[in-house]
């Protein structure tokens, strides 16, 4: 079996040793020896040693109440440090003979492949320039680490990079180790868990910090390398003003079930984004003023500046002044009424034009090498981020819009919108959209909920178009849901087009997505209000929670096919927005493979997807890591556009229909129909305790009730903590087994070999099954679940074993992930630290439920740290 790279193992060992020194200094040798006994016992127990299991159990049982919190923190911190080492290892300094990472060459390799297949170079370059990829940062965080700790973790990664040189002296190595020791000590003496939930504004600041600290550097580097690869392959350059990759955000705009996101919050987040953008561009421009000291300039530039010894500086000083005024204006007190200074920048062209003029002049005067440095990077940022940094989406539930219109129609004496059928609603909405008079009189006094909906629409109407993305309608089911938002926006003063996007989330809604959009596009007048593509959002999280991943994945695939056909029939461009989470149970998984597995024609140069929670930090938290992931998106969207996957064979579609039917029946038979399931779920997992974890600004539930009331994130997160991972695989075990029993094994193998959609689903299923652990899940049941419910737990673990066996039968492997021994060994390394955390969490849950403790008690803090540690150890958790 291949081993983990020696340099990664060395870094993990070094960080663990430094953490051990820190713990020993604070808690003494006796406590540190207990940590070592637990670690060695867990390692031996994993290898089947009964003595190791006994040592582990005895040491854990012997912990005093005062030792529970530091012991939990010790194992949690090690897993965080292991994550840092693994993340850095992906972008480590390459030495002679090291193969470059796949991500670094994936785009240039694709260009060469396209050229070798006879694609016209000009056509390739044009397609690259037309790419429209938008990554939407969302505030659904299972990210539990505080921002102050994240900054220390990033600094630790920086020191690992400093250490990764072959010619360092002993003194230099010692100095780096000393810095690492200090950073690890700082992290150890810092509380891991927030004392209170973040506000929506704090979430937005966290998202802006990711841009400032990482993406601001990464994106120009990605586009610089893409331009160089394009020039090598085609002889053509990426145009200056194109932005193949942009960013949007839901932080401060997503009000679906979150009463903390109000119209005033959205207004404040929009203002803050302008402040951050002005501040970042101000730093860029100040750097350019220092750099561009040359005198030779084009007549075009000199006409702007007049006769001056330093024309570039003169032009950029004017821009600097306007950026300073813009920053000061945007940083005014929230809600304060202030006149807008004349020099405030409002249009991105006002930022772009002086920068571009400098660029053209430098090239015209033979100084292209200077133009193509920092100035080019700033131009790329101006095209991608602009004056508004990110485009803010607004999201609200369709029921809130219907309730507002119900109140309005009742007030106007028109009847009850709620009781109208779809045709009545459409007739009313179309008539009002075409009517020039206002719908509501000025003196109308709305209820609190309706007033908030209208206030949000007024914020949208008042905001610059470039600062906003889409208005997303959760739980959309009909054409009237879209027209309802358009009418509310019109009534609030919106006089420009805005993308109003239905989000289809449940199995039934996904199945009806094509016909629903067909009815919408056929409505008189709708096409005239549609400027640009028709955007439709596909919900992965809630569809999987509703029907299981087998049926949900197939419904998502078919919905996309149907939407492509409907939009083609109506002559409308389609933009699919993928609402993916971090886990397999929420549509997560490797982005490159996921994009290449989409239905043919569904990725036509456009791709929009959510990036959520802790995955934002793992994928974009460090500039080098962000660069790799942006490369993958760039290459995958281009490949899916120009080299789409083949259409599935009719027999494969039929078999997938059977798998989906059997999968949803098996899933719902447990989750919905088993009378004891909800009670078992709440006893066996930390679901109730997760509500106390200050993860994000949004409540864990949309409303009171059972599993159906839970959001997809805590639903997945709770099962991950126990290692049963139920939502990611339940249903597949019966669906695949029945296919094998029918003698369809060869057809399943052919689907896996020839159909990227099915290949990706099985690969993700195998990965998540490799992270499950029925023995750990059994421990939770034995300690936390009442005797009458334990039979259900045993049945679910049997189903898990069945799922593993069926996947092994399908892949022909005796062990999961045999094709990736490095991944298996990484799991094994983590289990040494995860096992004690699970066992401590079980004990902490039992004690907490027996005798509730204050929120800040050591026991309660230890419980929350265990949740954070397990999440860190398993990575894609929410």
Distance of CA 744 to the CA centre of its chain: 36
Q: Which residues of 719-757 are buried (b: 16+ CB within 10 A; e: fewer)?
A: bbbbbbbbbbbbbbbbbbbbbeeeebeebbebbbeebbb
The partner residues of 391 in beta bridges, in order of sequence, read 248
Q: Is 545 a catalytic residue?
A: yes
Catalytic member of 205, 401, 545, 592? 545
532 CB-side CA count, 13 A: 14
What are the tokens at 819?
């094709």
C-alpha closest to that of 457 among 482, 486, 492: 492
What distance, in Å, lies between the first and last C-alpha atoms of the chain? 31
CA quadruple 851, 856, 858, 859: dihedral positive or negative? positive
CB neighbours of residue 336 within 10 Å = 6
What number of CA atoms fall less than 13 Å from residue 546's CA on the CB side? 18
Task: List all residues 6 or more positions away from 88 whose beta carbon is below 8 Å from its beta carbon.
Answer: 11, 157, 160, 161, 622
DSSP state for residue 257 in the 8-state scheme? T
Q: Is 607 helix (H, G, I), strand (E, B) or coil?
A: strand
The pair of three-digit structure tokens given for residue 233, joined into one six-digit string:
């392959």
With helix as H, strand as E and coil as C, how does 157-218 read? HHHHHHHCCCCCCHHHHHHHHHHHHHHHHHHHCCCCCCCCCCCHHHHHHHHHHHHHHHHHHH
CA distance 438 to 431: 12
Report how far residue 354's alpha carbon sits from residue 558's, in angstroms, rounded to the nearest whole number.
48
In degrees and rounded to multiples of 5, residue 856 shows phi and psi of -100, 10
Known catalytic residue at 225: no
- The two tokens of residue 172 are 């230099």
For the chain, what's the residue count? 878
CB 284 within 8 A of CB 320: no
CA distance 135 to 142: 18
**Residue located via tokens 């040793």:** 17
**CA-CA distance, 811 to 752, in Å (whole number)?**
9
Give the closest residue to 312 by CA, choosing from 322, 302, 299, 326: 302
Name the phi and psi angles at 142, rounded to 5: -95, 15
Name 118's Cβ contacts closer than 8 Å, sequence gap at least 6: none
Residues 6+ apart with CB under 8 A from 351: 281, 319, 323, 345, 382, 386, 387
Q: How far is CA 607 from CA 133, 211, 602, 670, 740, in A?
A: 5, 20, 9, 35, 36
What CA–CA distance (Å, rounded) separates 251 from 661? 36
Q: What are the C-alpha distances in Å from 390 to residues 381, 395, 513?
A: 11, 16, 29
Catalytic residues: 140, 545
């Amino acid at each position: 079996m291949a081993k983990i790279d020696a340099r990664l193992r060395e870094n993990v060992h070094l960080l663990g040793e430094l953490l051990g020194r820190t713990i020993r200094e604070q808690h003494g040798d006796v406590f540190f020896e207990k940590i070592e006994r637990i670690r060695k016992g867990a390692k031996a127990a994993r290898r089947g040693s009964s003595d190791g299991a006994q040592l582990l159990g005895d040491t854990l049982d012997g912990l005093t109440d005062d030792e529970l919190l530091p012991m939990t923190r010790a194992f949690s911190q090690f897993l965080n440090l292991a994550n840092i080492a693994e993340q850095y290892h992906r972008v480590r300094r390459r030495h002679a003979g090291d193969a470059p990472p796949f991500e670094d060459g994936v785009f240039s390799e694709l260009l060469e492949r396209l050229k070798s297949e006879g694609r016209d170079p000009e056509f390739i370059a044009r397609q690259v320039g037309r790419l429209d990829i938008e990554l939407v940062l969302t505030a659904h965080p299972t990210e539990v680490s505080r921002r102050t700790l994240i900054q220390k973790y990033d600094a630790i990664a920086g020191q690992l990079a400093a250490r990764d040189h072959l010619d360092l002296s002993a003194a230099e190595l010692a100095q780096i180790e000393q810095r690492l020791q200090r950073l690890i000590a700082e992290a150890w003496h810092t509380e891991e868990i927030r004392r209170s939930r973040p506000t929506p504004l704090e979430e937005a600041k966290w998202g802006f910090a990711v841009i400032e600290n990482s993406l601001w550097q990464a994106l120009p580097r990605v586009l610089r390398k893409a331009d160089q690869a394009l020039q090598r392959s085609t002889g053509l350059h990426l145009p200056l003003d194109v932005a193949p990759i942009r960013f949007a955000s839901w932080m401060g705009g997503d009000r679906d079930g979150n009463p903390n996101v109000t119209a005033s919050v959205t207004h404040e987040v929009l203002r803050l984004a302008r402040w951050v953008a002005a501040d970042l561009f101000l730093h860029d421009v100040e750097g350019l003023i220092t750099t561009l000291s040359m005198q030779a300039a084009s007549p075009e530039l000199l006409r702007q500046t007049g006769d001056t010894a330093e024309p570039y500086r003169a032009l950029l000083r004017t821009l600097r002044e306007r950026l300073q005024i813009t920053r000061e204006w945007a940083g005014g007190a929230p809600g304060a009424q202030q006149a807008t200074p004349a020099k405030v920048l409002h249009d991105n062209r006002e930022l772009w034009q002086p920068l571009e003029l400098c660029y053209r002049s430098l090239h015209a005067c033979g100084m292209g090498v200077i133009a193509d440095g920092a100035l080019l990077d700033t131009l790329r940022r101006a095209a991608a981020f602009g004056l508004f940094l990110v485009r803010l989406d607004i999201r609200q539930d369709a029921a809130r819009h219907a309730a507002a219109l119900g109140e309005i129609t009742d007030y106007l004496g028109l009847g009850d919108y709620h009781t109208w059928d779809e045709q009545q609603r459409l007739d009313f909405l179309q008539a009002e959209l075409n009517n020039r008079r206002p719908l509501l009189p000025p003196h109308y006094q709305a209820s609190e909920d309706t007033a908030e909906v209208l206030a949000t629409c007024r914020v949208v109407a008042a905001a610059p178009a470039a600062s906003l993305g889409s208005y997303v309608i959760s739980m959309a089911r009909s054409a009237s849901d879209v027209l309802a938002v358009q009418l509310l926006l019109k009534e609030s003063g919106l006089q420009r087009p805005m993308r109003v996007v239905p989000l289809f989330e449940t199995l039934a809604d996904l199945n009806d997505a094509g016909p629903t959009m067909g009815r919408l596009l056929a409505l008189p007048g709708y096409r005239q209000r549609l400027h640009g593509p028709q955007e439709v959002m596909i919900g992965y999280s809630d569809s999987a929670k509703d029907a299981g991943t087998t049926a949900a994945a197939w419904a998502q695939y078919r919905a996309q096919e149907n939407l492509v056909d409907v939009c083609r029939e109506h002559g409308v461009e389609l933009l699919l927005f993928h609402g993916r989470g971090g886990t397999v149970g929420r549509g997560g998984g490797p982005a490159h493979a996921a994009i290449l597995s989409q239905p043919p024609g569904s990725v036509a140069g456009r791709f929009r997807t959510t990036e959520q929670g802790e995955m934002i930090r793992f994928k974009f938290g460090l500039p080098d890591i962000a660069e790799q992931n942006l490369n993958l998106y760039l290459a995958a969207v281009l490949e899916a556009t120009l080299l789409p996957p083949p259409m599935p064979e009719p027999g494969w579609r039929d078999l997938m229909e059977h798998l989906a039917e059997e999968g949803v029946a098996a899933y719902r038979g447990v989750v919905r129909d088993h009378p004891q399931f909800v009670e078992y779920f709440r006893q066996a997992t930390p679901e109730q305790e997760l509500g106390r974890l200050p993860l994000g600004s949004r409540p864990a539930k949309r409303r009171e009730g059972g599993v159906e009331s839970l959001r997809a994130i805590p639903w997945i997160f709770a099962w991950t903590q126990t290692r049963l991972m139920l939502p990611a695989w339940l249903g597949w075990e019966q669906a695949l087994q029945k296919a094998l029993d029918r003698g369809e094994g060869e057809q399943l193998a052919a689907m896996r070999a020839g159909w990227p959609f099915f290949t990706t689903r099985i690969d993700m299923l195998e990965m998540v099954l490799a992270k499950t652990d029925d023995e750990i899940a059994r421990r939770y049941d034995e300690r936390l679940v009442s005797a009458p419910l334990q039979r259900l737990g045993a049945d679910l673990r049997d189903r898990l074993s069945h799922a593993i066996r069926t996947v092994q039968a399908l892949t022909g492997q005796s062990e999961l992930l045999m094709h990736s021994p490095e991944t298996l060994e990484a799991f094994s390394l983590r289990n040494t630290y995860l096992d004690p955390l699970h066992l401590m969490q079980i004990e902490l849950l039992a004690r907490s439920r027996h005798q509730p403790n204050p929120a800040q008690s050591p026991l309660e803090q230890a419980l929350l740290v265990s949740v954070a540690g397990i999440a860190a150890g398993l990575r894609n958790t929410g």
